[in-house]
Structure 1
Amino acid sequence: MTASERSRPLTNLARLGFSRLGEAESLLAELETDAGVAREAVLSAAAVAADADEALSGLARIARRDPAAVRTAQADPQGWRALWALLGASTGFADFYLRHPEELAELTGAGAALPTGDELRSSLLDAVGAVDGFALEGGEASWVALRVRYRRLLARIAAYDLLSASPVDVLAPVAARLADAAGAALEASLCVARTRVSGGAAGAGLFPREQVAATRLAIIGMGKTGARELNYVSDVDVIFVAGADGTAPEALVEPRVVDIATRLAVQTMRGITSIEIEPPLWEVDANLRPEGKQGALVRTLESHLSYYNRWAKSWEFQALLKARPIAGDAVLGEEYVNAVQPKIWTSAARENFVDSVQRMRERVTEHIPAAEVPYQLKLGPGGIRDIEFTVQLLQLVHGLSDDRIRQRGTLDALDALVTEGYIGRTEAAAFAKDYRVLRLLEHRVQLRNLRRTHLMPSRPEDLRVLARSSRLADSGDRIWERWESVKREVRDIHVRLFYRPLLSAVAALPAEERSLSPEQAHDRLAAIGFADPAGALRHIAALTSGLSRKATIQRHLMPVMIRWFADGADPDYGLVAFRRLSERLGDTPWFLRMLRDSSGAAESLTRVLSGSRYVGELMEWIPESAAWLDDQAQLRPRSGIALQEEARAIQTRHSAIEDAMRSVRALRRRELLRIAMAAIIGTVTIEELAEALTTITEVTIQATLRAVRRVVVPPEDSSLDFSVIAMGRFGGRELGFGSDADVMYVYRPGHVDPQRAHELAIQLVAELRKHSEDHRVPLDLDAGLRPEGRNGPIARSLEAYAEYYRRWSLSWEAQALLRARGVAGSVKLIRAFTELADAVRYPASVDPQGLREIKRIKARVENERLPQGADPARHLKLGPGSLSDVEWLVQLLQLEHAHAVPGMRTTSTIAALRAASDAGLIPASAGDRLAEAWRLASRLRSANTLLSGQTSDVLPTDRKRLDGIGRLLEYPPRSATQVEEDYLGATRRSRRVFEKLFYG
């Protein structure tokens, strides 16, 4: 025989999946010689084995003990394939058939279909000779017979599973049959227990047969058993319930019933778990009973209910969610389940229920040994428990008022949750797919040795077998990658859904708000703060009516969101704005999904809408902005560089000035909305807010100037320089909502005729003002601080400014230049103007007469510029101790000392105040009081605009509006008086400092 001919059989073996080729060749020869099974017959089914080497090894061991049994099994093609599938996936089944080779004959036709629940029950009861609830005999032989028969049936279930074209798709029916088999095994073991307890075995505690027969014992399946989603080798969680039937003898009083039932429960458990000739099936775990291990093993129904009414913890109700009678007295079992159902579905209303469930899941993860975490299919992050806890929490919270999602099984519950709109289709589909994959992996690792485990294998050869047996991948490396991918996806969805703020809010809803008649709803809306409850009802009806998925989700959201709206300053407006926003977004899928699933978007949305008409009106025009509430990064002001790039890109795309400016206005509105939402949510400080408002104003003016210059200034006049100088709070980068943009305009003719340059500058100003107008959020370019005020030219050349300041400048004009800062146009011209301004505003010596004039003007401003009838103490800009006092004092100090103190050469009020304090020009405590009043007045001024959508410099007297302003400043509800007192107190302290330092 040539080398090629000798190697051909080994090559064929490798192709069939064998890796230990020499050993396989030897075992094939042994089977053919000693058992009489032809090589071709042995290999005909080898391809179905996940581990062909182990399958062949197991088959050879069985053949050594009973070659005839192997020959018989080989005669049935379907059974032969089933045997190879079983031996290739499970050394546990190889050991079983080695102990009982006669059981191979029972594989005839195995794998074609699952046994039914009735077949499982009748077969196991037949194994113990059960008649009228009693086994034929109560000795250990009955337990052995029960276990052998159970494993026979288990093999048929496993064969169907392993031979399925797609095992992941048959997971649910396979798990259901495993649960049915467990229930049937407990039923058969209970029959043996009755025989033993009634005297059928020496040494057992004896009771009269009629008393045992009259003792009702219901076995309640919990966890995966109750949900009919059991594993191959899993603890079977149970609760035992006792009772006596109506025909019980008079002597069968409750204590004796419980005594007999306890003996029955103990013997039932022994029949499954004790060490006998045939190994135990699985652990029967009764630790979910009241008081756990410390509590009585068996209780009456009344005793159970008494415990649940008085002592049960939240997790116990979560465990009861899957409770189902599985063996024993079915009527008593149903009575138990029906009695605990109302307690299960009201448990989420308990105080801190959601937090307790979340914490329990975290504790499970924390107690996993560190070395096991990467391999944990069940308990680890991204594992089965993440899916189960998420689904159960959603069920328990929303099941308070919706019985359509009260399902036992995880997959059934997912279907119900998605149908009723509590979870998105995408998340539900991913969860269902991943749950099947994780459970299939768990099934396969348990089948391997028929032992309870939830750990992924670590050895490459074991991963390869897992990949083949699950058919989820084609190699060990790929199955590990699949596992890691599933973990990541599950963990991501779990974190988003399990920690929804909406869950805690729904659970905390008062019972009377979960289901109300229209009359009750009207009264409830009025009670929680809606001024127009009838109108609110109409809006709610418009949002929730219909059969669409959108309406379904709105119905779930509305009870909680109404509560949140009611917590805001203006619930009625908030609800109206929400309805408009919902209608603008139409059937956009992300919007309602975000509100339902995000980590706080729904509550944040109610907060901004009920707290600010300014925001509500802008969101109606920019509805996609709602998405920002799901991402804190989106509520941070964008940088000036990013905004400049976007503005330049706009002008690159649009050649027509109208189109370009329409897009620039949209950019400004969008950023103003972003800043407003950030201010209300509290993600920006007052300094960051002022900086952001200033930046978007600068970018808008710069973009507008570029656009109008392209239209106004022809190429032959391109040497004309033109710039915009920011003044006042704009120049100080201290804008608030509703602030004007104070500006001056400067030009330098270059090579252009001076008269022509002046005309072009005037045209630039006119076009700049025209195209910067925005009826939604006005941008008022106010040039009132220019030389000679409103009587002076709207634009001057740099030389004209220089001449004016040299010859005619008044003290207030030098004071105004303290805030001057170039913001748009020619950089060289801005630099030249700044040098000119510095010479005027930071003089080496100050004219005392000029200082006196500033003080005189300040006094006149206080008397003359206040609106008629306004309370000076409430004016945020001109009132005593408010913005004007602080700014005039700081500017006076700058005129006097900025030349000598470089830190005071700044356009910022607070920065200059800090520099004056650091230089010892004013006491630190005085600086703190001035800064406190300035910041508070600035915040109140912006909040006033945000609340009403209208600019006002007066602190309102209306208590509701004042309370709304307080809410925006993060005061607690009903803080109108506190807001007022804080402002008046701060300005009184500021005014005392001002009078002492300004006039003193």
Structure 2
Amino acid sequence: MSLPHGFFPANTVPAALQGALNHAEERLNESLAQADSLAEMRGQAPLTQSWLELDTNRRRHLARVMTVSTFALDTLVRHPDWLPQLAAGGELDVAPATDALTTWLGQRLEKAENEAALHAALRTFRQERMLGIVWRDLVRPSGVDMWNTAAAVAQLAEVSLEGALGWLEKHLAPRWGSPAPRADGQQQRLVVLGMGKLGAGELNLSSDIDLVFAYPEQGETQGGSKTLEHQEYFTRLGQKLIAALDAVTADGFVFRVDMRLRPLGEGGPLVGSFASLAAYYQNQGREWERYALLKARPVAGDLAAGQELLEGLRPFIYRKYLDFGAIESLRELKSLINREVKRRGMQANIKLGSGGIREVEFVVQAFQLIRGGRDTELQVTSLRTAMARLPALGLLPHSVIDELAPDYVFLRELEHVLQALDDRQTQCLPEADIDRARVALGLNLPDWAAVMAQLDAVRERVRQHFDAVIAEPEEEFDEAGVAEGEQALSLEEWRALWCAELEESEALALLDEAGFAQPKTALQSLVAQRQSRQVQGMQRIGYERLEALMPLLLDAVAEHAAPDTALARVLPLIEAVLRRTAYLALLRENPEALGHLMRLCVASPW
């Protein structure tokens, strides 16, 4: 039996995609014919009959989903029985509750007798759930929006992680035993921290998952045929867990796993004890790691212990004082983003290109990093929640959020459609006309021109807001300008002087013009400072902060009636704080602090 002519309502898809729908119908009929033959051999009712019971709306939605998403079509062709099951269970309209997902997966995993069976069960479970998620995202039944889709994918990842981990712990216990209890008697399990969009509970449709593994305390396993140190046990367990989700088999994959956000990245241990992680972040933690930890959340394993770990790291992530070092590091990250945007081909990337997804996330997370220690309302992993709280805290006007929030939703909706095409993690706009037509259909827009018109407007607004966040102090200097009739030196001239890019005669003339009574002495002091062992031995970040500060400092020195005195007294002070690079960042960020310093230096030799 095959689907009758006219099964799909007329004019369900644009004329440009009618051929794609016809091809999808042919593939479905072949799959249903095979399923019906198998059912007949077993004395069962033909599967096609349950498809014919779908109402007109379901058929219209089916045509739309299959035409847009090759992943959905391939899944239905391989498993034609899934559609009637999902429809009967209500999963085409509403995301299942976490408890229901956990029960369903648990029932499948109970039958898995080895790791190959575990992998197969996880993958078929994932494919079936993703079919429902893609359907709801493209059809948009009542109550479903981009955020609902993102939460459903994150929920699926968490259930899959916990199910796989529980199965592995149970089946490996006879060989490796179980971890020894903690000093207080509590049992130990692997702690799985979700980072990035998983930690936020806002995964995209075909996303990898960023994870960090940890365990509470050192010790040895008990009760197995082989005793292992906890470090080795949890490392092996973590490797098994990654393979359970990440490995590509005949059934596909569950989630691609990225472990690079752990301490020392790919060069570091896969798993760390709480004590080793605390020591690492305290002694070696970098600003980008604070940025990454903003979204860290326990997602599997010992959730309470994971929360305990994050509470211990909170002082590292969020500083109670206004963190000028973080501002400078965020500015460096912003510069990196701008450099990447200029690369060829980035314009087609809606995440990394100008005005893309990453820039909205940067705007929100910059405020979380800088102000989260004071404004504890920002200590949340959800970007949506953090963004909504910025106006009430006086950090961004309502008018900005009224633009950023819907623009971010549009970018993420476009991302979801791009990934629904082939279940591929991509953020690049398609080049083929048919794929562009599929994207337009997925977004409910008339054609590709309408997609690009809306995208261009969104990108322009996002880029404006991104440019306005933590602007360079030099930009503020340039915008302020100088009073009419003054001939102040530019910051570029001061930079060239400090960096020894001028001939000696040019440097002396510049200092003379700035009002120095003894230009030669001033130049010798600057050269000696730049070539000193303390400056040459600075680490990269500190050196870059000094380079950024010196033009502003020299301009402030020249503002005083006695610039020779100001320079002679401020240079030793700068040398004394070279290792406290946060002070260098503070002086650069805070013109008032720089002005006070100049006045103190001129007024007192101490």
TM-score calculated relative to the size of structure 2: 0.72
Mark the CA change 1:301 to 1:186 in structure 2 (over 3 Å): closer, same or farther: same
* Selected match of 1:184 from 126, 149, 159: 159
Partner of residue 487, structure 1: 459
Q: Secondary structure at the match of 2:272?
A: strand
Q: Secondary structure at the match of 2:343?
A: coil
Mark the CA change 1:52 to 1:338 in structure 2 (over 3 Å): closer, same or farther: farther
Counterpart Cα distance in 2 of 1:399 and 1:144: 43
Is the 2:294–2:381 Cα contact (8 Å) retained in structure 1? yes
Q: Secondary structure at the match of 1:686?
A: coil
Counterpart Cα distance in 2 of 1:249 and 1:269: 24
Partner of residue 59, structure 1: 25
Partner of residue 476, structure 1: 448
Partner of residue 318, structure 2: 345
Q: Which amino acid in 2 is paired with 1:426?
A: S
Mark the CA change 1:87 to 1:431 in structure 2 (over 3 Å): closer, same or farther: same
Mark the CA change 1:63 to 1:336 in structure 2 (over 3 Å): closer, same or farther: farther
Q: Secondary structure at the match of 1:64?
A: helix
Corresponding pairs, count: 487
Asked if 1:83 is matched to 2:52, the reply is no
Deviation readout 1:8-39 (Å, 9 max, x if unpaired):
xxxxxxxxxxxxxxxxxxxxxxxxxxx33222
Identity fraction in percent: 25
CA-CA distance at 1:495 after TM superposition: 0.6
Counterpart Cα distance in 2 of 1:335 and 1:254: 27
Partner of residue 104, structure 2: 123
The more displaced of 383-392 and 154-163 is 154-163
Counterpart Cα distance in 2 of 1:486 and 1:243: 45
Matches within 5 A, 1:502-581: none
Counterpart Cα distance in 2 of 1:451 and 1:387: 23
Mark the CA change 1:930 to 1:425 in structure 2 (over 3 Å): closer, same or farther: closer
Partner of residue 482, structure 2: 682
The structure that has the greater radius of gyration is: 1
Partner of residue 159, structure 1: 135
Matches within 5 A, 1:424-443: 424-443=397-416
Q: Secondary structure at the match of 1:421?
A: coil
CA-CA distance at 1:431 after TM superposition: 0.7
Counterpart Cα distance in 1 of 2:8 and 2:594: 80
Is the 1:220–1:239 Cα contact (8 Å) retained in structure 2? yes
Is the 1:125–1:187 Cα contact (8 Å) retained in structure 2? no
Mark the CA change 1:190 to 1:45 in structure 2 (over 3 Å): closer, same or farther: farther
Matches within 5 A, 1:294-313: 294-313=267-286
Partner of residue 83, structure 2: 104
Partner of residue 262, structure 2: 289
Deviation readout 1:136-189 (Å, 9 max, x if unpaired):
42331221121111121112222222112699x711121111111111111122
Counterpart Cα distance in 1 of 2:456 and 2:402: 18
Unaligned runs of 5+ in 2: 37-46, 489-511, 517-560, 562-592
* Selected match of 1:366 from 334, 339, 342: 339
Is the 1:115–1:157 Cα contact (8 Å) retained in structure 2? no
Mark the CA change 1:254 to 1:196 in structure 2 (over 3 Å): closer, same or farther: closer
Q: Which amino acid in 2 is paired with 1:686?
A: E
CA-CA distance at 1:283 after TM superposition: 1.1
Partner of residue 400, structure 1: 373
Deviation readout 1:877-912 (Å, 9 max, x if unpaired):
xxxxxxxxxxxxxxxxxxxxxxxxxxxxxxxxxxxx
Counterpart Cα distance in 1 of 2:210 and 2:513: 69
Mark the CA change 1:172 to 1:221 in structure 2 (over 3 Å): closer, same or farther: same
Is the 1:467–1:475 Cα contact (8 Å) retained in structure 2? yes
CA-CA distance at 1:367 after TM superposition: 4.1
Unaligned runs of 5+ in 1: 1-34, 130-134, 200-205, 505-598, 605-630, 636-680, 689-928, 934-954, 956-966, 979-1000
Q: Which amino acid in 1 is paired with 2:176?
A: F
Is the 1:116–1:177 Cα contact (8 Å) retained in structure 2? no
Q: Which amino acid in 1 is paired with 2:51?
A: A
Deviation readout 1:509-528 (Å, 9 max, x if unpaired):
xxxxxxxxxxxxxxxxxxxx
CA-CA distance at 1:370 after TM superposition: 3.2
* Selected match of 2:116 from 133, 140, 143: 140
Mark the CA change 1:56 to 1:152 in structure 2 (over 3 Å): closer, same or farther: farther
Mark the CA change 1:930 to 1:420 in structure 2 (over 3 Å): closer, same or farther: closer
Q: Which amino acid in 1 is paired with 2:83?
A: L
Is the 1:290–1:304 Cα contact (8 Å) retained in structure 2? yes
Is the 1:218–1:240 Cα contact (8 Å) retained in structure 2? yes
Q: Secondary structure at the match of 1:299?
A: strand
* Selected match of 1:170 from 145, 152, 161: 145
Partner of residue 207, structure 1: 176
Is the 1:241–1:298 Cα contact (8 Å) retained in structure 2? yes
Is the 1:82–1:107 Cα contact (8 Å) retained in structure 2? no
Is the 1:50–1:85 Cα contact (8 Å) retained in structure 2? no
Q: Secondary structure at the match of 1:237?
A: strand
Counterpart Cα distance in 2 of 1:45 and 1:456: 26
CA-CA distance at 1:449 after TM superposition: 0.4
Deviation readout 1:763-794 (Å, 9 max, x if unpaired):
xxxxxxxxxxxxxxxxxxxxxxxxxxxxxxxx
Q: Which amino acid in 2 is paired with 1:477?
A: A
Counterpart Cα distance in 2 of 1:350 and 1:265: 35
Deviation readout 1:931-983 (Å, 9 max, x if unpaired):
999xxxxxxxxxxxxxxxxxxxxx9xxxxxxxxxxx999993247679xxxxx
Q: Secondary structure at the match of 1:42?
A: coil
Counterpart Cα distance in 2 of 1:322 and 1:254: 35
Is the 1:314–1:347 Cα contact (8 Å) retained in structure 2? no
Asked if 1:197 is matched to 2:179, the reply is no
* Selected match of 2:422 from 409, 431, 449: 449
CA-CA distance at 1:454 after TM superposition: 1.0
Is the 2:178–2:223 Cα contact (8 Å) retained in structure 1? no
Is the 2:177–2:225 Cα contact (8 Å) retained in structure 1? no
Higher relative contact order (CA 8 A, sep 6+): 2
Q: Secondary structure at the match of 1:466?
A: helix
Partner of residue 352, structure 2: 379
TM-score calculated relative to the size of structure 1: 0.45
CA-CA distance at 1:352 after TM superposition: 2.6
Mark the CA change 1:931 to 1:286 in structure 2 (over 3 Å): closer, same or farther: closer
CA-CA distance at 1:79 after TM superposition: 5.0
Asked if 1:973 is matched to 2:599, the reply is yes
Counterpart Cα distance in 2 of 1:50 and 1:196: 53
Matches within 5 A, 1:542-691: 600=476, 632=479, 682-686=482-486
Asked if 1:419 is matched to 2:397, the reply is no
Q: Secondary structure at the match of 1:455?
A: coil
Is the 1:138–1:192 Cα contact (8 Å) retained in structure 2? no
Is the 2:93–2:141 Cα contact (8 Å) retained in structure 1? no
CA-CA distance at 1:225 after TM superposition: 0.4
Q: Which amino acid in 1 is paired with 2:80?
A: P
Deviation readout 1:632-656 (Å, 9 max, x if unpaired):
4xx7xxxxxxxxxxxxxxxxxxxxx
Is the 1:147–1:281 Cα contact (8 Å) retained in structure 2? yes
Partner of residue 211, structure 2: 238
Q: Secondary structure at the match of 2:599?
A: coil
CA-CA distance at 1:198 after TM superposition: 3.7
Partner of residue 125, structure 2: 149
Q: Secondary structure at the match of 1:40?
A: coil
